[in-house]
Amino acid sequence: MKKIDVGQLKKISGADNVSDNIADLYVYGADASVHQALPNVIVRPKTISEVQKIMRYANKNKIPVIPRGAGSGTSGHTVPIDGGIILDMKRMNHILEIVPEDMLVRVEPGVVDDDLNRALKPFGLFYPPAPASSRIATIGGEIAANASGVRSVKYGATRDYVLGMKVVLANGKLVKLGSNTRVHSSGYQLERLIVGSEGTLGVVVEATMGIRPLPKFRCLGVANFNKLEDAGNAISEIISSGCELSMLELMDKIGIIAVNKAMDLKLPEVAAIIMFEADGNVKEAVDFEIEKMKKICEKHGGTDIKMSYDVAERTRLFSGRKKLFASLSKYKEGIICTDLADDMGVPNSKIAEAAAKIHEIAEKNNVIMAVYGHCGSGVIHTKIMLDPKKKSQWKDAEHVIDELYDYIHSVGGVTSAEHGIGLSKAPAWKKARGDIIPMMRSIKKALDPNNILNPHKIMDAPDDWIRATNLRYKVGK
């Protein structure tokens, strides 16, 4: 890589928006994953034209460019494994247009998900994907990871809302993909190709996204289970019985203990809690769905079932689940939560079995793993909880990852359901999907022949995730 001409970048985006001091480099070299690496420079563009100029410069000089939203990725997507330029997109944060009559919004990539929803609310509209990190996650980052969230069982993932986008390619050329219409059958669906590409194919500089009307009624139910298996079976039956649900969440005992410790919620420390929700514009219809789910929970041993339409009460009931990820470090002194093996997807019928298997593999390998997630969509979130200072625990984590993903893939599951592959999930994913890697590499080469856009991620990531970069933790011997 050639030495980066910081002065040139300052000319493009202004001196205040370019930094190569160590305070910024060190911070921008990390995300929510276990990885850390140093970039050479941070640039914060404000306009499409600036992004084009930066890409032209980087392409000419073969300098890696890593587009970055909030840096809330869990697998090292934005960790600059080869150094280069971090393109912080958060200054491009304007909502350009809200068009209720066409049910779409046009936004810049740095718009924060919650900000978009706050702006849509007065129109009676919302943007549904909403990952748990919606308070900081940017639309650009959500597109890069094909993010989804608690209501994906009804509303789907980011890919279901992308209508069109403007993308700056590696050579600086601006292309307009997709359309302004809900459907199109006019050539390759290239806008969908960008979804989930983790910044490896282009820089999203504008997105046209579909939106939905806010439902008038939302009812949340909570049921406790004394066996994790019973909760898993209730989830499978709720899905297969054709319930029209808007959310179906699971929390296991480890998660419950952690949020009780972190937030003093006083939740009953049972084997599992299921949270189920229905929404709609006709209260009787919502009642009908909720009652149906309640009965299924009761049939499978669900007890102490609470239900509420009230926003404050729903928020209270759901608060533990919302902050579960961050609370896990409170589970046990000396043990912390690492973002590893964090978002498998499994077929609905396998949820109970997968939950039991996760606990079995964790116990066998001396680590702790919580099981929770948007089980209505088959998403199982886990985290590996370990003592980061012990080298042996990282070996344990490697074993867990190998065994767990072998199992997940053997039952027809996916490596990542909504967080993406990045670095830490790449070895397991490559093992399972070697069949599509040549095709993905061909696409990458066609769009980015100099391999400058977020290089060495997904299919090109190192085979050893633990040594792919420095670990963010100081590991002893």
Partner 1 sequence: MGLLGKIFYIKKQGNNFKRSKKWEGELNKCIRCGYCYELCPLFKSNNWESDTPRGKLLLIYGMITGEIQPTKEIVDKIFQCFYCKNCSDNCSAGVPVTDILTDARADLIEQGFEIEGTIVKINEDLCSVCGVCVPLCKYEALSIESDGKNKEKIVVDKVECRGCGLCVSACPSGAISQKEGCEVTLPELHQKVEEIIKQHGKKLVVFACNWSMFPGMQLSESPTLIKTSYGIIVSMCSGRVAPELILKAFDGGAWGVMVAGCPPEECDHDGNYKTRRRLVLLKNVLNELNINPKRIKLEWFSTGESAKLQNEINDFVKEIEKMGPINKMVVSKKVGG
Strands 85-88 and 41-43: parallel
Distance (Å, whole) CA 367 – CA 456 = 29
21 scored as a contact of partner 1 (CB under 8 A): yes
**Shortest Å distance, C-beta 255 to partner 1:** 12
User: Contact, 144 vs 198, CB < 8 A?
Assistant: yes
90 scored as a contact of partner 1 (CB under 8 A): yes
Span near partner 1 by CB under 8 A; candidates 239-247, 288-296, 329-337, 452-460: 329-337
Taking CB under 8 A as the criterion, the residue among 6, 48, 103, 136 binding partner 1 is 136
Cα 346 to chain center, whole Å? 16
**Shortest Å distance, C-beta 283 to partner 1:** 23
263 scored as a contact of partner 1 (CB under 8 A): yes
**Shortest Å distance, C-beta 194 to partner 1:** 23
Taking CB under 8 A as the criterion, the residue among 13, 19, 59, 424 binding partner 1 is 19
422 scored as a contact of partner 1 (CB under 8 A): no
Q: State the maximum Cα–Cα separation within the chain, in Å, rounded to a whole number.
A: 68
242 scored as a contact of partner 1 (CB under 8 A): no
Taking CB under 8 A as the criterion, the residue among 9, 12, 28, 275 binding partner 1 is 28
Question: Nearer Cβ to partner 1, position 330 or 433?
Answer: 330
- Binding residues for partner 1, rule CB under 8 A, total 55
Identify residues 264-303 at the interface with partner 1 (CB under 8 A). none
27 scored as a contact of partner 1 (CB under 8 A): yes
**Shortest Å distance, C-beta 205 to partner 1:** 17
Question: Nearer Cβ to partner 1, position 321 or 444?
Answer: 321
Distance (Å, whole) CA 192 – CA 159 = 7
**Shortest Å distance, C-beta 26 to partner 1:** 5
Span near partner 1 by CB under 8 A; candidates 14-22, 58-66, 367-375, 448-456: 14-22
6 scored as a contact of partner 1 (CB under 8 A): no
140 scored as a contact of partner 1 (CB under 8 A): no
Could you give the string, one character per residue 369-398, with x where binding to partner 1 holds by CB under 8 A and - elsewhere? -------------------xx---------
Question: Nearer Cβ to partner 1, position 89 or 153?
Answer: 89
Can you give the chain as a three-state secondary structure string?
Answer: CCCCCHHHHHHHHCHHHEECCHHHHHHHCECCCCEECCCCEEECCCCHHHHHHHHHHHHHCCCCEEEECCCCCCCCCCCCCCCCEEEEHHHCCCEEEEEHHHCEEEECCCCEHHHHHHHHHHHCEECCCCCCCCCCCEHHHHHHHCCCCCCHHHHCCHHHCEEEEEEECCCCCEEEEECCCCCCCCCCCHHHHHCCCCCCCCEEEEEEEECEECCCEEEEEEEEECCHHHHHHHHHHHHHCCCCCCEEEEEEHHHHHHHHHHHCCCCCCCCEEEEEEEEECCHHHHHHHHHHHHHHHHHCCCEEEEEECCHHHHHHHHHHHHCHHHHHHHCCCCCEEECCCCCEECCHHHHHHHHHHHHHHHHHCCCEEEEEECHHHCEEEEEEEECCCCHHHHHHHHHHHHHHHHHHHHCCCECCCCCCCCCCCHHHHHHHCCCCHHHHHHHHHHHCCCCCECCCCHHHCCCCHHHCCEECCCCCC
Identify residues 36-55 at the interface with partner 1 (CB under 8 A). 44
Question: Nearer Cβ to partner 1, position 221 or 388?
Answer: 388
Question: Nearer Cβ to partner 1, position 75 or 348?
Answer: 75
Question: Nearer Cβ to partner 1, position 26 or 226?
Answer: 26
Span near partner 1 by CB under 8 A; candidates 67-75, 233-241, 249-257, 458-466: 67-75
**Shortest Å distance, C-beta 10 to partner 1:** 15
The residues binding partner 1 (CB under 8 A) are 19, 21-24, 26-28, 30-32, 44, 70-72, 88, 90-91, 93-95, 97-98, 111-112, 114-115, 118-119, 122, 133, 135-136, 259, 262-263, 323-330, 334, 336-339, 388-389, 470, 472-474
